[in-house]
Amino acid sequence: MDGHLDPRRYSTVDLIRRKRDGGQWSPDEARWIIEAYTAGFIPDEQMSALAMAVFFRGMSAAEIDPWTAAMIDGGVRLDYSDLGRPTVDKHSTGGVGDKITLVLTPLVAACGVAVPQLSGRGLGHTGGTLDKLESIPGWRGDLSSAQVRSQLAEVGGAIVAAGPDLAPADKKLYALRDVTGTVESIPLIASSIMAKKIAEGTEALVLDVKVGSGAFMKDLAEARELARTMVRIGTGAGVRTVALLSDMSTPLGLTAGNALEVREAVEVLAGGGPPDVVELTLALAAEMLAAVGSDADPAEVLSSGRAMDRWRRLIRAQGGDPDAPLPSALETDVVTAPTSGVLDRLDAMAVGLAAWHLGAGRVRKEDDVQAAAGVELHAKPGDLVRAGDPLLTLHTDTPERFAAARAALDDAVRIVEPGAASTRPPLVQDRVE
């Protein structure tokens, strides 16, 4: 970033008004906004107004690209070109029960490709990979760049938090967006994700863009626009980028919570687990391997047990004990089917909110989470259920939370007569490159 940044080069108020009224910024203005905000020349109240104007008016590619580039240039950009093996990362836009990273990272690493997997924490109804892994005794994700490089050379994969010197402008801006209602903006989401992913130095990136009630993008058109924006940013920055659009109308797998999802991921690595988790993991693994020119067969590697071996090495390398028992909730509460028939809908957003109420998620980034809290599913849409059968088991250490979790699930379930069930969307709905 320019050490001689001129805080008076542009009028922030004029830039706010222009975007508010539907105008565009020049590429230099877009870059200056990020540089000036990071340097403290633009105060939070003005940046809040800028973010809200973008929320309603959007940004063009000519604005998003320099905006994102300024985020990247404000910190370090890592380089793994001398690692001796190709590098690829994956990013999910967030969902309910999305434990794919836990299986995917060791699986792709076992195929001979290095995976510097940058991950985050959960916020609201969506889960966070770091929170899930921290339910394993001793595991930590705050590795230095040197430690990540060493682990990639020795193990082939690392699941880590973004360091403070990686796109620092994004960290500051995201915290502001979180408290000003401007998170759900395609230009702001795309630039936030891609700034970190490009700065981490991977040569290829596969995006899992969620669509449905439990995702930020509720419909396919919005999800496709976000995917296209991110693929264009990544490709323009020299990172081979492809996106899959996957369904998030129903929770992924049979668990939503931290230790619950780790347990399920280990089941998949052991050759079992829910079919949808296996299907999406293999689809993303195939894209990651193709992006770096590998002809390894991820299904064969998963069934051989090599991915499980790599998981155990990865957990140990980051201080965890893969053999330690995972936390179990002190209290459980079973939600039963009200009638008999076919489970036609199990709403992902409602399940995610229930898990959040039980203690699996947080309101603010600094809040603690319960490792054992969450929701266990006993049926998925399309399954036959009988009145009184268990549908969901709620897990928490604080039983006073059950009432709020049950309230969140009031309209989550729809059971219909056999033959009346609606058609469910495919798990992978589209591909963007």
Catalytic, 192? Answer yes
Phi, psi of 308 (to 5 degrees): -65, -45
Which of the listed CATH numbers 1.10.1510.10, 3.30.460.10, 1.20.970.10, 3.20.20.70 matches domain 12-73? 1.20.970.10
Alpha carbons 385 and 61: distance in angstroms, whole number: 49
Please tell me whether the overall predicted TM-score, pTM, comes out greater than 0.85 for this model: yes
Q: Which residue is catalytic, options 192, 213, 246, 294?
A: 192
Residue 300 has pLDDT above 70, yes or no: yes
Domain ranges within the chain, ordered by starting residue: 12-73, 88-317, 331-416
- Taking residue 332's Cβ as centre, other Cβ atoms within 10 Å add up to 14
Q: What is the mean pLDDT of residues 248-256?
A: 97
Alpha carbons 294 and 206: distance in angstroms, whole number: 14
DSSP bridge pairs for 413: 346
Catalytic, 294? Answer no
CATH architecture of the domain with residue range 88-317: 3-Layer(aba) Sandwich (3.40)
Catalytic, 171? Answer no
276: tokens are 């949808």
- Taking residue 91's Cβ as centre, other Cβ atoms within 10 Å add up to 23
Alpha carbons 194 and 211: distance in angstroms, whole number: 19
195: tokens are 């700034």
Catalytic, 125? Answer no
List of residues 6+ apart from 245 with CB closer than 8 A = 209, 210, 211, 220, 223, 224, 227, 428, 429, 430, 431, 432
Q: What is the mean pLDDT of residues 262-290?
A: 98
Residue 296 has pLDDT above 60, yes or no: yes
Amino acid at 335: V
pLDDT band at 1 (very low <50, low <70, confident <90, very high): very low
395: tokens are 């897990």
Q: What is the mean pLDDT of residues 222-231?
A: 97
Q: What is the mean pLDDT of residues 357-375?
A: 86
Lowest mean pLDDT: which of 86-100, 236-250, 365-379? Answer: 365-379
Alpha carbons 161 and 173: distance in angstroms, whole number: 17
pLDDT band at 390 (very low <50, low <70, confident <90, very high): very high
Q: Give the pLDDT of residue 404.
A: 98
| Domain 331-416 top-level CATH class | alpha beta
251: tokens are 């929770």
Q: What is the mean pLDDT of residues 380-402?
A: 97
Catalytic, 177? Answer yes
Please provide the average confidence, as pLDDT, over all residues in the chain: 94
Q: What is the mean pLDDT of residues 184-207?
A: 95
pLDDT band at 365 (very low <50, low <70, confident <90, very high): low
Amino acid at 412: A
pLDDT band at 269 (very low <50, low <70, confident <90, very high): very high
206: tokens are 């596969």
* 88-317 and 331-416: identical CATH topology: no
Q: What is the mean pLDDT of residues 254-275?
A: 98
Q: Give the pLDDT of residue 111.
A: 98
Q: Which residue is catalytic, options 170, 247, 276, 347?
A: 170
Residue 325 has pLDDT above 60, yes or no: yes
Alpha carbons 264 and 326: distance in angstroms, whole number: 11
Q: Contact 205/190 with Cβ under 8 angstroms?
A: no
Alpha carbons 192 and 118: distance in angstroms, whole number: 13
Q: Which residue is catalytic, options 91, 132, 172, 345?
A: 91
Q: Give the pLDDT of residue 4.
A: 66
169: tokens are 């402008």
